[in-house]
Amino acid sequence: MDTIELLVPAGDMDKLKTALRFGADAVYVGGQQFGLRAAAGNFNLDQLSQAVDLTHDQGKRIYLTLNAYLRPDDFDELDDYLEALRPLGTDGYIVSDPGVLQRIKQVDPRREIHLSTQVNTTNGYSCRFWQQQGVDRLNLARELNLEEIRQIRSLSDIELEVFVHGAMCVAYSGRCLLSTALTARSANEGACAQPCRWNYALVEETRPGQYFPIEEDGRGTYIMNSRDLCLLDQVPDLIRAGVNSLKIEGRMKTLYYVAAVTRVYRAAIDAFLADPAGYQFDPAWREELDKVSHRPYTTDYLPTDDAAVHAEDSRYRRTHDFIGVVRQVEEGRVLIEGRNRFKVGDEIELIGPKMCQHRFVVAPCEDEAGQPVATIQPNARVWLPFEGAVGVGDLLRREKDQPGWVSSGPAGQ
Ligand code: SF4
């Protein structure tokens, strides 16, 4: 129970630094081959080497995803890739395909192996089986409830990992050909187009083009539309059940998402470990999770009385927008890199690790040449007067409903 790990996605180097800064014990990253999330900013070998050094310098761990299902012709390339990866010293590989597991055992036998959620492990006998094959850790299927996790723990001493937060499939994770069928983009090769979240209509076969109005709202119906997982309330139960690692989903998510979600789970884990008997849930943690872009939250199947997985609409919601990153700190001022437009006079919030946050009004700013700046645009770098505790990598955000708020688009999220 003392060694519970908070495992956080790191889609690129900036997100990796943010994840470590905001409280991750370990990060998972994709390389440029054989990891799902084809569109994430995956790491090349040089970047991976830097990422490993950076993570290990902080005494933390880094895992590489190799969780695609491979075709016969892929294996020569896989062996070459494993050879190239071997000297980098990542702490483990996340795999799905038993063939990949077998090749790792041949080429790099001492590497720790974690079994991906794509394998859909749902019982202790499967855990024993995979342990006998040389797997060190298993990510359990999201479909399990707490009692089932306890039963699995009692049957096997393998390391157990569970997803606690993020998007979910409507199929068993990744076991779905919808994207392949509709777009030729395979979910199990990291290219899912998420067609389960598209709007669908009913058409009678002899009347092509005539759509029957089966509506849940004005935009259509959402027959396969999953909520987002949020097991913040269940953190103590999961730790007590013997889970070793709590994993956050989302290598495609933004810097702000990584920071905000990581610091909340860090706070909950630390509060529980510091005083398990006196642990009290802080409602501010849940409010914090509402400030990032998300679909309606669900606990999925974890408590047996809650199977409310389906969302009634397809909208993402959030109460705040990510507007900037602190890139440099000097006495009385910080250098900000803008992500969304904001201006002098706006009331904004600075967030840092350990649930630190400061609300303040933006004072007159200047650019790096010393010229006054009234409106901070996305990607602009400006000096912002600021007094208080702040560090490089802290983030700025702004409530969405302020009068005069203008969004510069979804790129900030
Ligand atoms: S289409 Fe939906 S259910 Fe299927 S793999 Fe993609 S996200 Fe998962």
What spacing in Å lies between the alpha carbon of 303 and ligand 1's midpoint?
23
Average pLDDT, the chain: 88
What spacing in Å lies between the alpha carbon of 191 and ligand 1's midpoint?
10
Give tens-digit pLDDT for 342-371: 999 999 999 999 999 999 999 999 999 999
What spacing in Å lies between the alpha carbon of 181 and ligand 1's midpoint?
11
**Confidence check: pLDDT of 413 > 50:** no
Which of 168, 176, 200 is the pocket-test mutation for ligand 1 (most atoms within 8 Å of CB)?
176
What spacing in Å lies between the alpha carbon of 67 and ligand 1's midpoint?
16
What spacing in Å lies between the alpha carbon of 240 and ligand 1's midpoint?
31
Give tens-digit pLDDT for 251-262: 888 999 999 999
Assess contact for 339 and 330: CB atoms under 8 A.
Answer: no
So what's the pLDDT on residue 194? 80
* Atom 6 of ligand 1: nearest residue by CA position: 194
Q: What backbone torsions phi and psi does residue 307 show, to the nearest 5 degrees?
A: -120, 30
What domains are defined for the chain?
5-172+226-298 (3.20.20.60), 320-412 (2.40.30.10)
Give tens-digit pLDDT for 276-316: 999 999 999 999 999 998 888 888 666 554 455 667 666 77
* Atom 1 of ligand 1: nearest residue by CA position: 194
So what's the pLDDT on residue 202? 79
Instruction: Assign 132 a pLDDT band (cuts: 50, 70, 90).
Output: very high
So what's the pLDDT on residue 349? 96
So what's the pLDDT on residue 226? 78
Looking at ligand 1, which atom is closest to the CA of residue 170? 3
Q: What backbone torsions phi and psi does residue 22 show, to the nearest 5 degrees?
A: -95, 10
Q: What percent of the chain has pLDDT over 90?
A: 67
Which of 169, 180, 251, 295 is the pocket-test mutation for ligand 1 (most atoms within 8 Å of CB)?
169
